[in-house]
Amino acid sequence: MSGLEKKAYQGLGQFIIALFLFLFLPAGTLHFWQAWLYWFVFSFSCLLITVYFLKYDKKLIERRLNVGPGAEKETSQKIIQAITGLTFVAMMLFPGIDHRFMWSSLPPMISIVAEVFVALGFYIIFLVFKENSFTSAIIETDKEQKVISTGPYHLVRHPMYAGALLLFFATPFALGSSWMLVFSVLLTIMMIIRLLEEEKFLVKNLKGYADYRHKTRYRLIPFIW
């Protein structure tokens, strides 16, 4: 196993364990079937993506490992990423509390259907990674990078964020917590702020992006915005 593979699997393993603790510790019980299903879908999706790109595009994995507020170069992005990270942790902690005190009451079928959309969100992200090897976890450009306008980039300029948006809003229903939508909205706001900052950066630093922006009208949701 190479150093990159070891680092990728260690990071993934730590994240999967942390996600498990976030979901179940606040619930105070393992009898939380929505959390079990969500944890499996989320973890298995991350594992499949990691295994695939470690085999077919190690450069992408290397770029994706450079993550977090400390890795960002702009102060504004450091702040945005820090807030986003804290909001995500709070989002994962909340369903267990909701489950313990039974604040929400959603039919089981809604959670099952929502899991399909969680998986679909990951599939969109997979397609983005496959189409664009330069999909970094931070806002930056590479000297060899070119504008990608094919695949999901033909529909919207930020398809990875579109996949994340689907995840944000499917997650509360998958975990049976309607009150969790508050965190989905907060994450969406932070994502939009980051997206707008990223567009300004790409116009200045990626040749051809300004033209691409005019050709592909929609940023995040086709025919809407």
AA identity, residue 101: F
Which structural domains are found in the chain, ordered by start? Answer: 3-215 (1.20.120.1630)
Between CA 196 and CA 80 the distance in angstroms is 12
pLDDT (0 to 100) of residue 70: 78
Per-residue pLDDT tens for 20-44?
Answer: 999 999 999 999 999 999 999 999 9
Between CA 173 and CA 166 the distance in angstroms is 12
Mean pLDDT taken over the chain: 93
Rounded to 5 degrees, φ, ψ at 144 are -95, 0
The 3-class SS string of the chain reads CCHHHHHHHHHHHHHHHHHHHHHHCCCCCCCCHHHHHHHHHHHHHHHHHHHHHHHHCHHHHHHHHCCCHHHCCCHHHHHHHHHHHHHHHHHHHHHHHHHHHCCCCCCHHHHHHHHHHHHHHHHHHHHHHHHCCCCCCCCCCCCCCCCCCCHHHHCCCCHHHHHHHHHHHHHHHHCCCHHHHHHHHHHHHHHHHHHHHHHHHHHHHCCCHHHHHHHCCCCCCCCCC
In the structure, what pLDDT confidence band is assigned to residue 15 with cuts at 50, 70 and 90? very high
Between CA 198 and CA 193 the distance in angstroms is 9
What six digits make up the tokens of 148?
A: 């990608």
Residue 192 Cα to chain centre, angstroms: 13
Task: Label residue 6 exposed, middle or buried (CB < 10 Å: 0-12, 13-18, 19+).
Answer: exposed
The percentage of residues in the chain with a pLDDT greater than 90, rounded to a whole number, is: 79
Does residue 68 register a pLDDT over 80?
no
Per-residue pLDDT tens for 112-139?
Answer: 999 999 999 999 999 999 999 888 877 7
Does residue 10 register a pLDDT over 80?
yes
Does residue 72 register a pLDDT over 80?
no
In the structure, what pLDDT confidence band is assigned to residue 178 with cuts at 50, 70 and 90? very high
pLDDT (0 to 100) of residue 138: 78
